[in-house]
Amino acid sequence: MDPVKVGVLGLGTVGGGTVNVLRRNMGEIARRAGREISVVKASARDLSVERICRTTDIELFADPFEIVNDSSIEIVVESIGGESIAKELVLQAISNGKHVVTANKALIALHGNEVFSLAQEMGVMVAFEAAVAGGIPIIKVLREGLSGNRVEWLAGIINGTGNFILTEMRDKSRDFADVLAEAQALGYAEADPTFDVEGIDAAHKLTILASIGFGIPLQFEKAYTEGIGQITRADVAYAEQLGYRIKHLGIARKNRKGIELRVHPCLIPERRLLANVDGVMNAVVVKGDAVGPTLYYGAGAGAEPTASAVVADLVDVVRTLTSDPENRVPHLAFQADSLSDTLIVDIEEIKTPYYIRLNAEDRPGVLADVTGILARHNISIEAVIQKEPLDGESQIPVIMLTYGILEKEMNAAISEIVVLETVKGPITRIRVETLD
């Protein structure tokens, strides 16, 4: 089958990232979607600037309307952002019978009702996973994964810039204005940081999440919004003394009077996972009446994480175009005839660091014997804990942390160590996973 023809409006961070991910993972994506997905046309305000993506094989236009009015384009990716022109383009694309994928939270939060109603009329899809929390598939989770629940509340760190600033204030005991200036210099924060630090961006996203969670219309104008500009490093420190962290949260909660819809700084207990979401990362907690509390964590912005969500939406659309409804998503994600026969690696061929604990006689040279054997198997030691023997005990526990080594080498070393006269009883070895 021919590739599905996609037109991308805007080749900045999101558009450029989308082009890159679609190109790099082309084969894998086609195996999942059942059809190749190809960006054939794209628009950019200035055709001469350098971009994060290659544009060979892509026909470029300065005028995005040329793409939304092009009858060969099946799906339009709107990655221009903002409200006015983006809205016009999206409505035009829908009117022309094209499916639309957008990362535009302001567009959805403010004009979603209008956009969706036209889409329904025209029988096309409008997908917007990338509009909230970047690469975290939170829209899909709420709309589909938790559809059996009454949502009681949801709360999220949904602005990476704000979370970066609060994390730096805490980790380095710095003031708000200081960190903001640095974030601007590094490109993490916009020259005009209002949208991020005043909570408007988060309120756009919260509006969307609340609507999906509670089945209410989009009503951004009713969200309460308060920024983080008033937080001082003293507040961060006092909060810590009290056992809390300060985070900028978007919260939607059903109470007896109605639904709370609010973005503001919060103290949250330090033991909560959400309190430990640091830097530019995002996370959303959803409490459902059946599932209980659940949490979704990942990168909330950036070219590749946002592209991850845009491409997932593209695959969603293409799966709908390609398959009978009951075969829309292949059971194992990939089309049944395209499973790979990649080798499953034998455990002996796997490399990890190790934790080793053994009991040794308390006499000179024991550690030298053990480390000598390890060295002969090219096993380097990162840390050792050797305890004093307890009164009356002749044995001491020796604990070692090694660097990464193939399991077969470790097994060989252990089989030599275990027969040393000075080593008593079995040797415990536990693999270390750094999760990098």
Determine the 3-state secondary structure of 393 from DSSP.
Answer: coil
Count of CB atoms within 10 A of residue 425's CB? Answer: 10
CA-to-CA dists, residue 421 to 62, 414, 417, 418, angstroms: 79, 13, 9, 8
Q: Which residue lies nearer to a second copy by CB, 373 or 406?
A: 406
Q: Is 272 in the site for a second copy (CB under 8 A)?
A: yes
Q: What is the longest distance spanned by two Cα atoms in the chain?
A: 87
> What minimum distance in Å lies between the beta carbon of 80 and a second copy?
20
Q: Which residue lies nearer to a second copy by CB, 150 or 376?
A: 150
Judged by CB under 8 A, the stretch of 88-96, 164-172, 291-299, 372-380 that binds a second copy is 291-299
Judged by CB under 8 A, the stretch of 76-84, 178-186, 191-199, 220-228 that binds a second copy is 220-228
Q: Is 76 in the site for a second copy (CB under 8 A)?
A: no
Is 424 marked active-site? no
Residues 364 to 403: which contact a second copy by CB under 8 A?
383, 385, 397, 399, 401
Among the listed residues 98, 105, 205, 287, the single catalytic one is 205
Place of tokens 């060989």: 412
Q: Please pick, from the candidates 135, 162, 199, 227, the single residue that binds a second copy as defined by CB under 8 A.
A: 135
Q: Please pick, from the candidates 70, 74, 78, 129, the single residue that binds a second copy as defined by CB under 8 A.
A: 129
Q: Is 54 in the site for a second copy (CB under 8 A)?
A: no
- Return d(Cα 161, Cα 169) in angstroms, integer: 12
Q: Which two tokens stand for residue 34?
A: 């059942």
Strand ranges of the sheet holding 4-9, from the earlier edge strand across to the other edge: 59-61, 37-43, 4-9, 75-78, 99-102, 126-127
> What minimum distance in Å lies between the beta carbon of 47 and a second copy?
26
Task: Determine which helix (DSSP H) or strand (DSSP E) holds 328, and give its type and residue range.
Answer: none
Judged by CB under 8 A, the stretch of 62-70, 80-88, 178-186, 344-352 that binds a second copy is 344-352
Residues 150 to 189: which contact a second copy by CB under 8 A?
150, 155
- Return d(Cα 355, Cα 55) in angstroms, integer: 49
CA-to-CA dists, residue 194 to 107, 181, 227, angstroms: 18, 13, 9
Q: Is 406 in the site for a second copy (CB under 8 A)?
A: no
Q: Is 80 in the site for a second copy (CB under 8 A)?
A: no
Report, as residue numbers or ranges, the catalytic residues.
205
